[in-house]
Amino acid sequence: MSVTTLTPDVVVRAPKVLLHEHLDGGVRPDTVAQLARDAHYSGLPTFDPADLARWFVADAPGSDLVRYLEGFAHTTAVMQTRESLVRVATESALDLADDGVVYAEVRFAPEQHRAGGLTLEEVVRAVLDGFARGTELARERGRTIVVRTILSAMRQAALSETIAELAVAFRDEGVCAFDIAGPEDGFPPTAHLRAFHLIQRENFHLTIHAGEAFGLASIWQAVQFGNAERLGHGVRIADDITTAGGGAQLGALANYVRDRRIPLEVCPTSNVHTGAVASIADHPIDLLKRLRFRVTVNTDNRLMSGISLSSEFLACARAFNWTLDDMQWLTLNAAKSAFFPFTKRLDLINSVIKPGYAALRDEQ
């Protein structure tokens, strides 16, 4: 067997880069149950970890973004103390490292973790401390991972400027960007222009959730009004592409996004579970890849989709016949698009990613 075929073993061992992962969407089911017991939280549908894991996966016919987001009420409810935030962040770093992720940007909304009396600054500090602890524990297990943090503001709330200021304040301590998240329809990016402009004035980084549940208008606003450096999901850019007779015709917005090399943080299984696409086989990620958009593969929420980054690559490989070369190209896209200093990105690419894929090829 050629190792250019993407088998589970090869995919797990291949170095991977993750740009779009929500902290409260990647909690271990047994941790949710234990933290709920500790906090005397009775809202869980079940305390059995296996049953809980099944409940969180929003894959029933007719699921949409609203159903998908229901699970976050439970995960955020049990992440309201410093101890719980440190634990979840520590386990997140460990789980990603065990899956072969060598660099990750994990986002969360600090405003959703204040019910226990923590300040916004204390919330951020707890998560950063957890990532540091998880990174060190992973190193002790022989795995190396860099975990950085994106602070998200909820687009249906009114704290985006405050969260943007918070992101800038922690820029030298592990926070690498600002984002807005939450329901797209009815909550356009243009409602958060003051936050975006603050980030731009501070020469900081910005990614915007756009083009997932809502269409091209969301992407257009994120790019043209928000000046987004990356698009969270961005999958609906395919609505501006017409295919016929084996060719593809790009509209003005699709051309602009491709020409500007604006990275797309694509999350295939999540897009299926939120109703953005019907199935992995119907997902436009392969079309976007063949048209040479700056496509990256991501998880979004491992708990809500019952996945890992490795399983995402495997699902796409089975649907689109991707090889190790395809996986390396997509991983390099992600590494080039990371909110990581240029010299460190180069070192990650040349010292970790390329040698890792070369070693897998040498096993043939």
| CA atoms of 226 and 217, how far apart (whole Å) | 12
CA distances from 152 to 37, 75, 167, 296 (A): 28, 16, 9, 20
Model confidence pLDDT, tens digit, residues 228-260: 999 999 999 999 999 988 889 999 999 999 999
Active site residue 140: no
The answer on pLDDT for 141 being more than 60 is: yes
Catalytic residue among 105, 184, 212, 265: 212
Run of H or E including 17: strand 16-22
The answer on pLDDT for 276 being more than 70 is: yes
What is the number of alpha carbons within 13 Å of residue 169 lying toward its C-beta?
A: 11
pLDDT for 248 equals 94
pLDDT for 213 equals 73
- What percent of the chain clears pLDDT 70, i.e. is strictly above it? 96
pLDDT for 158 equals 87
Model confidence pLDDT, tens digit, residues 150-164: 999 998 888 999 999
Give one DSSP letter per residue of 52-81, joined into a string: HHHHH---STT--HHHHHTTHHHHHHT--S
pLDDT for 246 equals 80
Model confidence pLDDT, tens digit, residues 26-78: 999 999 999 999 999 999 999 999 999 999 987 755 566 666 778 899 999 99
pLDDT band at 214 (very low <50, low <70, confident <90, very high): confident
The answer on pLDDT for 296 being more than 90 is: yes
Residue that has been written with the tokens 């809502």 in this structure: 214
Domains of the chain, CATH where assigned: 8-358 (3.20.20.140)
